[in-house]
Amino acid sequence: MAVATVAAALLAALGGALWLAARRFSGPRGRRLQGGGDRSLMHGKTVLITGANSGLGRATAAELLRLGARVIMGCRDRARAEEAAGQLRRELGQAAGPEPDATTEGQLVVKELDLASLRSVRAFCQELLQEEPRLDVLINNAGIFQCPYMKTEDGFEMQFGVNHLGHFLLTNLLLGLLKSSAPSRIVVVSSKLYKYGDINFEDLNSEQSYNKSFCYSRSKLANILFTRELARRLEGTNVTVNVLHPGIVRTNLGRHIHIPLLARPLFNLVSWAFFKTPLEGAQTSIYLASSPEVEGVSGRYFGDCKEEELLPKAMDESVARKLWDISEVMVGILK
């Protein structure tokens, strides 16, 4: 009897997933695909994307390349990044046909960047500032999701260290180049899960207690507070910064999540039916990086290419300023 009940439940779930999947692909999806627009929209612009070798970052890189941008891939694993770059060049070359345009070979640059190492971030920025005359768009895309407790090279809790502190230092070190390249843009990838996080200034390093879900949410809340404080500091510079959530996307970001073996087929079906593809998830990043519609817009939170409201805790100016001040000390900008 119990087996029959479980089987019936699984069949019902399967049927529901298939029905909703059919609706997903037959009806309007409510997602605005930015690719396929003016192929010269980003011509002459240099874009840096962190974590561009897979998932959202790779999809963002591919679309901005198609729009004519010169894309710098900042990735921890250089070998994997070179492999991804080769695949992108081949894909774009094939898409361009027998007469490829300037979005193919020569417009994609791979550089090693480990956001879990402040030393790596500084070395990366030093090299970039020496080699690049301009930077039009910085996309803080890389992230780590709900990993077991571990620390960065500098002793920070990994999710807070990579998702917030690494990008905090990177952005600050590149602000001069972004200002000299103005009008320029900074795009920060956060998550709707920020709603479940809080900034505990007494235990930012999670040494008193560690909950991997809460710590991820806290790092994403930090992304939003950082964006809003940075927007305030950049007023009048013609450098804008906005933050977004991509939605639930099928990427390898959840590699640290354990799914029971028997549940994996159902999970895979549900993720296929309900989760966004990387290309769909990347649309808001592409929109904020390239669209004339958001020219001059700064300090806002976006989802599905439109502005969304934030919870009060994500708009707390005093918390944002305190987090900024503490982050400066943590990454060594201030002693």
Segment 196-248, tens digit of pLDDT: 999 999 999 999 999 999 999 999 999 999 999 999 999 999 999 999 999 98
Q: Give the length of the chain.
A: 335
Q: Is the pLDDT of residue 25 over 70?
A: no
Active-site residue, selected from the candidate residues 194, 196, 216, 287: 216
Q: Is the pLDDT of residue 99 over 70?
A: no
This prediction's pTM: 0.84
Is 301 one of the annotated active-site residues of the chain? no
Confidence of residue 266 (pLDDT cuts 50, 70, 90): very low
pLDDT averaged over every residue in the chain:
85
CA atoms within 13 A on the CB side of 197: 29
pLDDT digits (tens, 9 = 90+) for 33-65: 554 557 779 999 999 999 999 999 999 999 999
Class level of CATH domain 31-331: alpha beta
Residues whose CB falls within 8 Å of the CB of residue 7, separated by 6 or more in sequence, listed in order: none
User: The tokens 């959840």 sit on which residue?
Assistant: 254
Longest dimension (CA), the chain: 71
Residues whose CB falls within 8 Å of the CB of residue 16, separated by 6 or more in sequence, listed in order: none
